[in-house]
Amino acid sequence: MTAQISWSDDLLINVAAIDSDHKKLFDLMSEIFATSAHGADAINRAIGALAKYTKEHFAREEASMAKTNYPGLSKQMYEHEHLVFTLESMMDRLMISGPEAIDADLAKFLMSWLGDHIMDFDLKYAEYLKANNLEG
């Protein structure tokens, strides 16, 4: 397996707690690829850990946004719901297909899935915090 998921500092939004979560999400995505040679049980555990942490991260983000009265919260919540649905669909595919579904296309999808969300939705939140001199 040669596909890789890796963090890039280009994805920093300069909100420490959110950046830390994003790095952890990338680590968990990488774990899926690292376990691909260890069989379906290892893959399923890695996918489960990613799904659990993703939901926890989204809950923390939404709580921070509510605390700061972020006007984009409802749009962010909708996007989070969509991303969780997409992640769960991907998990179903991996559980059915097994290790052969862990490929470069999956790596590209995961990078796009999280990278696009960070650079669009999360960056807007970081800009809101900065413009209003708030901490998330």
CA angle 94, 96, 98 (to 5 degrees): 55
pLDDT tens profile 16-57: 999 999 999 999 989 888 887 887 788 888 888 988 999 999
- Residue 35 vs residue 11, higher pLDDT: 11
Residue ranges of domains in the chain: 13-131
- pLDDT at residue 3, rounded to an integer: 64
CA torsion 91-125-16-19 (nearest 10°) is 30
What letters, b where the CB count within 10 A reaches 16 and e where it falls short, cover 89-109?
ebbeebeeeebeebbeebbee
pTM: 0.86
Q: SS3 of 128, please?
A: helix
pLDDT tens profile 57-88: 999 999 999 999 999 999 999 999 998 888 88
CATH number of 13-131: 1.20.120.50
